[in-house]
Amino acid sequence: MLAVLAPGQGSQKPGFLTPWLTLPGAEARLRWWSTLSGVDLVHLGTAADEEEIKDTAKTQPLLVAAALLTAEQLPMYDATVVAGHSVGELAAAALAGVLTPEAAVTLAGVRGREMAAACALEPTGMSAVLGGDQDEVLGAIEAAGLYSANRNGAGQIVAAGAVAGLEKLSASPPARARVITLKVAGAFHTPYMAPAEEALGKVAAGITPGTPGKILLSNRDGAAVDHGPTMLLRLIRQVTAPVRWDLCMGTLADLGVTAVIELAPAGTLAGLAKRTLKGIEIVQVNTPEDLPAARDAIARHGTAPTHEPHPEFSVVVAGTAGTFTPLPDLTEGSQVSIGQIIGAIQTRQGPVDVTAHDGGVLTEWLANLDDPVAPGQPLARIGGQL
């Protein structure tokens, strides 16, 4: 099984899109997306210096556009799983079919501008805490009046909040941990970004999302989201919510992913995957010269499409890991309505309802009572009409 990952802010490098503009149609694509995002993506990806592309208002649409431009050169229909880190989640949602590329780039432009504006309201920042005991690190972050904004796995947790709190954490770091101040505009993924979340929500309200055509993982909890409106709501709320990339990688492991491709500008997520997901193949796509290796990985680890006639149906998938319990009186052949609860997944935190996002006939249970399930695992097939 193959997963495609879209990187987030901090992965950009000066001139990283220059080699991509040699491909037919690439520059025209970027100029169209520039109009939608409100920034000059061609300039930012080729001629802008490091200081300019650190501007949140410019970086976010640049990264989403880069991931989408890269993916257009790959046979994405063979990729099974997609996920993105922070703003990269907009690109992942487009690759899964929840958003159009145009909608993703437009939202990235709004998100970047509004988060930059929120950062200017008061002095805030972020610091990476490397190493140490996880519980002790989280306790120290809370004691300093800060928020855990990113939990990236591999011993990386990012604290965010007021500058005074960050200075306190740096002066008295957790045992066996290092605190590194990050050069960012403010406290992303914390309540300080509430004005940006509100502004993004107003624009996103005009979008009609599609149904994911791939296993799409959410930064909120690593869950596989199979409902377009739910994913769109999560994308909005992600502005103030922590990025749980550690849980996304846990889901990749649970799904049995055997290869990962990181889209341009690649490196950050590939490094985290290498340290966390042992034994998998990792391909970084930074220039067109990396495309053959990526296509080869997709051919060997992806799922080939079928062109045979097939019934039209929707598949209900697990959003979390646990033990599945189908609704006792719901049998194959029963009519199911939109939003109906068809079962539950028993987790350590309690039961999580499983609902049908499409109506029709329950044609087949794909998981049975007390079966262990992983996020993204199919549970039931609904529909079945040619």
| Catalytic residue numbers, as ranges | 86, 189
SS (H, E, C) the chain: CEEEEECCCCCCCCCCCHHHHHCCCHHHHHHHHHHHHCCCHHHHHHCCCCCHHHCHHHHHHHHHHHHHHHHCCCCHHHCCEEEECCCHHHHHHHHHCCCCHHHHHHHHHHHHHHHHHHHCCCCEEEEEEEECCHHHHHHHHHHCCCEEEEEEECCEEEEEEEHHHHHHHHHCCCCCEEEEEECCCCCCCCHHHHHHHHHHHHHHCCCCCCCCCCEEECCCCCCECCCHHHHHHHHHHCCCCCECHHHHHHHHHHHCCCEEEECCCCCHHHHHHHHHCCCCEEEECCCHHHHHHHHHHHHHHCCCCCCCCCCEEEEEECCCCEEEEECCCCCCCCEECCCCEEEEEEECCEEEEEECCCCEEEEEECCCCCEEECCCCEEEEEEEEC
